[in-house]
Chains A and B, each alone.
Chain A
Amino acid sequence: MIADFEYFAPKTVDEALSLLSKYKEEAKIIAGGQSMLVVMKRGLLSIEHLIDIKGIEALDYIKYDEKEGLRIGALTMHRAIEKSPVIQKHFGVLSEMERNLATIQTRNWGTIGGNLCHGDPAGDPAPVFIALNAKLKLASLGKERVIEMEEFSQDYLEVALEPDEMLIEIQVPTPPSHTGTACDKLMVMKGDMGVVGAAVSITLSPGDGICKDARIALSNCASTPLRAREAEKKLIGKVVNDSLLVEVGEVASTEATPPVDVHGSAEYRQEMVKVLVRRAATKALERAKAA
């Protein structure tokens, strides 16, 4: 059962940051709590001071500008991202990812920032944000910094937040022209955490169809979301065709060190990485060609 804690519900970012700077390691932030309460119920997290930021309305927003790209407030609900017309139009892969993230009930209460800060390597959003080259804005009292999504995950359920810091915003740049991004995951049941998952972004050089840039990120394949850099290298500088994508999947599979549990052995997961990387890359390629 959940152990007792002291509860605060700040209404502004500054109030939340003041509490964090006061209590530091003894404090823990809760947003929607859709992941965190599960951990709390198992007694895996003992909290002195719980800072409930779900009520900070200023961090619930989706903003888009062609030059600046996409800005998502940390407390934006999953369901809002899924349904956002501007995201569906310019960053469709995010909306697709959300459609398979748990269930509507969870998406109606859980927040994108909470998901990222939970730091689960099996989470769906982080690999997609890595493929999209996203950055995160973090804040502590009187200070702000921006880090790469890729640098944020440190280890299983550990992220690069200082004890007095919180996530404020996810920043997704407008992709270069002729870029396509797609994601896929293997689910036991729709909405489950991926047994393994892949997000792929491909940028083509117009005219000759050569791959100019590629970003590949895997979920549930390491203790953090995993960037498959060797697989990316296999793509960059080549004309992309089906047999190359098969090879790219094979290389990505050698980079994965997936966990073992009731849903699959490490060997099975590595086989599935081949399939999912190829599928996501095929879709990303189609989109890059159509872009």
Chain B
Amino acid sequence: MKGELKELKLTVNGKSYEFKVKPKTLLVELLRNELKLTGAKIGCLDSACGACTVNIDGKAVRSCSILALQANGREVITIEGVADGYKLHPIQEAMVEHGAIECGFCTPGMVMSARALLGENPAPSQEEIKEAIQGNLCADEGYVKYIEAIEIAAKKMRGGN
């Protein structure tokens, strides 16, 4: 039947959830409306701005362009699951310290793209960083500081200063 609710099991920020959702529900809608995790932003809802970026199984994806049911059985991390309690993730820390924040709307997406990048490539080149956040638009053009902050975070995570 059209619109019939379907069961969905997934892990979000380390916690297991079970839902019954309308099949047309987008992942970003589930995160924001059901779980009240509003860090993933709805910017364009059209796969253009990257503000809704989350990590699924460690990879950066756009939660506005995935049906919630397609994340069934997978592990989702949102910006709310990046810090360790009150201890910021090195990427967040570097962005705060380096002033890599403008109005803040694109920042969660930037962090999630950077987190996925550093997860698979601990020592990215500047080009690789640019490529990783290419899909995250910053309306304030704050790209340079973001790139530098990600470089700083990568260095810190590798054990440098």
Residue contact A106 to B4, C-beta cutoff 8 Å? no
Name the B residues within 8 Å of A109 (CB-CB). 56, 59, 61-62, 65-66
Interface string of B37-65 (1 = CB under 8 A from A): 00000000111001001001001111001
- Tally A residues with Cβ within 8 Å of B: 28
Asked whether B134 lies within 8 Å of A4 as measured between CB atoms, the reply is: no
Contact A108 B23 (CB under 8 A): no
**Interface hit among B67-75, B79-87, B148-156:** B67-75
Q: Does residue A279 face the partner (Cβ distance < 8 Å to B)?
A: no
Whether the pair B135, A41 counts as a contact (CB closer than 8 A) is no
Known: A38-B47, A103-B134, A103-B135. A5 touches B2 (CB 8 A): yes
B134 pairs with A37, CB closer than 8 A: no
Q: How far is the CA of A25 from the CA of B24 in the complex (A)?
A: 19
Q: Is the CB of A41 within 8 A of B45?
A: yes
Which residue of the partner chain B has the closest CB to A189?
B134
Q: What DSSP secondary structure best describes chain A's contact surface? A: loop
Q: Are B45 and A104 in contact (CB under 8 A)?
A: no
Give bound CA distance, A4 to B62, whole Å.
21
Q: Is B78 an interface residue (CB 8 A)?
A: no
Nearest CB on A from B79, distance (A):
15
Q: For the complex, what is the distance from the CA of A54 to the CA of B66, rounded to whole Å? A: 11
List A contacts of B65 (CB < 8 A): 33-34, 37-38, 106, 109
Question: Digit string of B3-46 for contact with A (CB within 8 Å is 1, else 0)?
Answer: 11010000000000000001110100000000000000000011
Q: For A6, what are the chain B residues with a Cβ–Cβ distance below 8 Å?
A: 1-4, 23
In the bound complex, CA of A30 to CA of B26 (Å) = 14
A225 CB, min distance to chain B CBs, angstroms: 22
**Which listed residue (A4, A105, A191) contacts B60, Cβ 8 A?**
A105
Q: Which residues of B contact A54 (CB under 8 A)?
A: 70
* Contact of B23 with A4 in the complex, beta carbons under 8 Å: yes
Name B residues whose Cβ lies closer than 8 Å to a Cβ of A. Answer: 1-4, 6, 22-24, 26, 45-47, 50, 53, 56, 59-62, 65-67, 69-70, 72, 113, 116, 131-132, 134-135
Seen from chain A, the residues whose Cβ lies within 8 Å of a Cβ on chain B are 2-7, 9, 30, 33-34, 37-38, 41, 48, 50, 52, 54-55, 79, 102-106, 108-109, 190-191
